[in-house]
Amino acid sequence: MTVDDTGSGTGEPTSGEPGRTAGSTADTSAARTDRAEAHARLEERDRVDAQDGPTGAQDPADEQDDSGQDPLALRLEQLILGAERRYTPFQAARSAGVSMELASRFWRAMGFADIGQAKALTEADVLALRRLAGLVEAGLLSEAMAVQVARSTGQTTARLAEWQIDSFLEGLTEPPEPGMTRTEVTYPLIELLLPELEEFLVYVWRRQLAAATGRVVQAADDEEMVDRRLAVGFADLVGFTRLTRRMEEEELGELVEAFETTAADLVAAHGGRLIKTLGDEVLYAADDAGVAAEIALRLIETMANDNTMPELRVGIAFGTVTTRMGDVFGTTVNLASRLTSIAPKDAVLVDGAFAEELTRTGDAPASEADAAEAAAAAEKEGEDPPAYRFALQPMWQRAVRGLGVVEPWLLSRRS
């Protein structure tokens, strides 16, 4: 076991540590000597601590136990993590060969609270630290990028875990017999579900990673791989604030879940990507303007045919978008949001760039006069007229907060 005694680096792993790479050949002899001396001091301290027993100098967490923890909670934790609590944060960092500072950054980025020096970490926590630090040492990730990986993974899986506990497991742990408690059902249920859900999670992640990679590598140039041109759409339930005052919490929750489920299915089915849901609002993106337009109109049509749903309005903009940690940012996103706020009920407003893109791809005519002219020319040549899918109607110019004056277009299907 090696450690950065100064707490200012990742340390140099030994060949006996599984999953670790050898130290950089650029290390100087003096640096190696310093690490060896630090290692020797720590080994000596561990030996003295072991000899001193209860009265000797100990890690503060060694005096803590799990007496205050619910026994079932501990059993469930051990079942899910697949290992017992063995390490304090300091011990885990030392075993992984990383500084306590870096270990704390990773831990917080994953979304976990500081636990002082409680003995609450497992071998899996040590292995995770080694892997992240190993990617940094190998030069595959910068330290900042490794922290970002930890943060994005933590945020995504935290939401998934909360949903599974609140909704999925809650429904399945209904006691099958009188006299049984929900907690008595939970352990065997998790024992059966855990390996299956784990395999499914990895499968879906690989599928999503393959799809995302495919989209990015098709970018026109290197700059577009990061800052890409996308169609971004917001779909917003009209009058949602008023509904929250009239409906019971359970009814409101069911309405929001139905809206999010319907929107997510429609976005995915027609080739878009659901970026996030915000209760009464859905944000989605698409590489193709025609795909984004079809999704918007399908959403309007579907909600209009459901008497339990309020009216919907959609705003779409097209342009350069910055993507970070699965989210989208930039002026294009802001414009789509503003267009949604001024859109009429059960209608779709788009910006000028989106209208131009639909015209360029042949999904919509620039005007009905152009459509009539194109149809007449096609008839004269004995050809089929252009098959426009959408119609665009220019609206009055509007001053949009923070973005100046814009000229929105009303999007509809072309009969």
Whether 410 and 343 have beta carbons less than 8 Å apart is answered as no
* Higher-scoring residue by pLDDT: 68, 231: 231
Class of domain 226-413: alpha beta
Per-residue pLDDT for 171 more than 70?
no
> Residues 306-325: pLDDT tens digits?
888 889 999 999 999 988 77
Q: How far apart are CA 140 and CA 114, in angstroms?
A: 28
pLDDT band at 222 (very low <50, low <70, confident <90, very high): low
Per-residue pLDDT for 351 more than 70?
yes
Sequence-ordered strand ranges (E) for 260-341: 273-277, 281-286, 312-324, 327-329
Report how far Cα 238 is from the mean position of its chain's Cα atoms: 27
Q: In whole angstroms, how far apart are CA 221 and each of 119, 217, 227, 322?
A: 50, 9, 10, 15
The closest alpha carbon to 153, from 195, 101, 192, 209, belongs to 209
Token readout for 177 is 């017999």
Mean per-residue pLDDT, 60-66: 43
pLDDT band at 251 (very low <50, low <70, confident <90, very high): confident
The closest alpha carbon to 342, from 399, 302, 272, belongs to 399
Q: How far apart are CA 247 and CA 237, in angstroms?
A: 15
pTM beyond 0.75:
no
Angle, in degrees to the nearest 10, between helices 289-304 and 249-269: 140
Using the 8-state DSSP alphabet, how is residue 371 labeled? H
Q: How far apart are CA 93 and CA 125, in angstroms?
A: 9
pLDDT band at 124 (very low <50, low <70, confident <90, very high): very high
pLDDT at 243: 77
pLDDT at 246: 79
User: In the chain, what percentage of residues exceed pLDDT 90?
Assistant: 33
Per-residue pLDDT for 132 more than 60?
yes
Averaged confidence pLDDT in the chain: 79
* Higher-scoring residue by pLDDT: 303, 30: 303
Per-residue pLDDT for 25 more than 90?
no
> Residues 7-21: pLDDT tens digits?
434 344 333 333 334
Residue 137, C-beta contacts closer than 8 angstroms, at least 6 positions apart: 10, 21, 24
- Which amino acid, one-letter code, is at 11? G
pLDDT at 89: 92
pLDDT at 170: 64
Per-residue pLDDT for 175 more than 70?
no
Domains of the chain by residue range? 1-52+60-165, 173-218, 226-413
pLDDT at 381: 81
Which DSSP string corresponds to 103-168?
HHHHHHHTT----TT-S-B-HHHHHHHHHHHHHHHTTSS-HHHHHHHHHHHHHHHHHHHHHIIIII
* Higher-scoring residue by pLDDT: 2, 205: 205
Whether 91 and 58 have beta carbons less than 8 Å apart is answered as no
pLDDT at 253: 82
pLDDT at 152: 85
Per-residue pLDDT for 39 more than 90?
no
Per-residue pLDDT for 41 more than 90?
no
User: In the chain, what percentage of residues exceed pLDDT 70?
Assistant: 78
pLDDT at 59: 43
Mean per-residue pLDDT, 173-177: 67
